[in-house]
């Protein structure tokens, strides 16, 4: 019989890491080969509970395991947070249009991630690091509400910063509200975009975060000279099939599942209610 597009691949939960009070990263070992490109997503089945789309946060180059960083917001995500080692879940995909790395070649790349929006950015960042010679430089702007809301703390505050010594990379890190030990910037993520040491005309920006953050980040990027076609947004909508059949994820005539989830601002700017 032909391939059934709805049948997931079985995966074993090999770890479930607490990142912040509301966000966990689950580490899965797929029983069959599964590969994806940064920005693509997969549908994750928690048996008997439901299925929801997530963009993997692990490196696309890692063929052994796949990670999803998930914020607890509803029925399925709540159960994901409770998954224990050895439990079986399902994934199907990958779906959608990835970040077009070929278009980033010889350019300066600005990554802007807020909160759980750092998840897809992490997969992209890891892919960029693997191929760093292709880009002039990488500027990574991160934001979260408070220091404890940061995900990937060990990576952002330690391991990844050490890479700056070896490759053309720098970090700009902020929180909406600091605490007494905070040594980076304070303010919403757009504060990291002032006085950027970048050649804007030869740069691309990749933005992922809550809708309000993406909105104001996009407006700021336009203000500092980024063109609409060089701003890449990762969009989220209610989604079931992932393959352009069920029509739940449509933004105007576009499908988030197959035309996206990565869109340029130019593609979206005239569409209805994009900042939801």
Binding site for another protein (CB under 8 A): 1-8, 10, 45-52, 73-74, 76-77, 88, 90, 211, 236-238, 240-241, 243-248, 250-253, 255, 270-274, 276
Q: Which residue has the tokens 């989830």?
A: 261
CB 206 within 8 A of CB 99: yes
Least distance between another protein and beta carbon 78 (Å): 10
Least distance between another protein and beta carbon 245 (Å): 6
179 or 270, CB closer to another protein? 270
Alpha helices in 83-227 (DSSP H): 101-104, 118-130, 153-154, 160-162, 211-223
Helix (H, G, I), strand (E, B) or coil at 30: strand
Strands of the sheet with 88-95, listed across from one edge: 50-54, 41-46, 88-95, 9-20, 23-30, 66-71
58 or 77, CB closer to another protein? 77
87 or 134, CB closer to another protein? 87
Alpha-carbon 269 to chain mean position: 20
2 or 179, CB closer to another protein? 2
Cβ atoms within 10 Å, residue 132: 16
How big is the CA angle at 126 (ends 125 and 132), to the nearest 5 degrees?
80
Least distance between another protein and beta carbon 227 (Å): 22
73 or 194, CB closer to another protein? 73
Least distance between another protein and beta carbon 95 (Å): 9
Least distance between another protein and beta carbon 75 (Å): 8
34 or 226, CB closer to another protein? 34
Least distance between another protein and beta carbon 113 (Å): 17
Q: Whose CA is closest to 206, among 133, 115, 141?
A: 141
């Amino acid at each position: 019989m032909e391939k059934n597009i709805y049948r997931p691949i079985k995966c074993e939960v090999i770890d479930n890491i607490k990142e912040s009070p509301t966000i966990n990263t689950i580490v899965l070992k797929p029983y069959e080969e599964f590969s994806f490109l940064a920005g693509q997503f997969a549908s994750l089945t928690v048996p008997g509970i439901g299925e929801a789309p997530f963009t993997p946060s692990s490196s696309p180059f890692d063929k052994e395991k796949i990670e999803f960083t998930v914020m607890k917001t509803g029925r399925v995500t709540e159960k994901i947070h409770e998954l224990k080692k050895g439990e079986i879940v399902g994934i199907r995909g990958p779906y959608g249009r990835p970040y077009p790395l070929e278009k980033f070649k010889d350019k300066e790349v600005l990554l802007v991630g807020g909160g759980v929006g750092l998840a897809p950015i992490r997969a992209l960042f890891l892919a960029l690091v693997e191929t760093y010679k292709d880009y002039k430089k990488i500027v990574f702007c991160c934001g979260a509400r408070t220091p404890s809301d940061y995900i990937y703390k060990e990576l952002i505050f330690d391991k990844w910063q050490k890479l700056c010594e070896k490759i053309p990379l720098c970090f700009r890190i902020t929180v909406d509200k600091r605490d007494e030990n905070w040594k980076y910037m304070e303010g919403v993520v757009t504060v990291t975009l002032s006085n950027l040491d970048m050649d804007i005309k030869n740069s691309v920006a990749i933005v992922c975060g809550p809708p309000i953050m993406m909105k104001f980040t996009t407006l700021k990027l336009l203000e500092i000279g980024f063109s609409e076609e060089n701003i890449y947004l990762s969009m989220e909508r209610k989604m079931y099939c992932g393959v352009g059949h069920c029509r739940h994820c449509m933004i105007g005539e576009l499908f988030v599942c197959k035309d996206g989830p990565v869109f340029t601002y130019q593609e979206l700017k005239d569409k209805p209610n994009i900042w939801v």
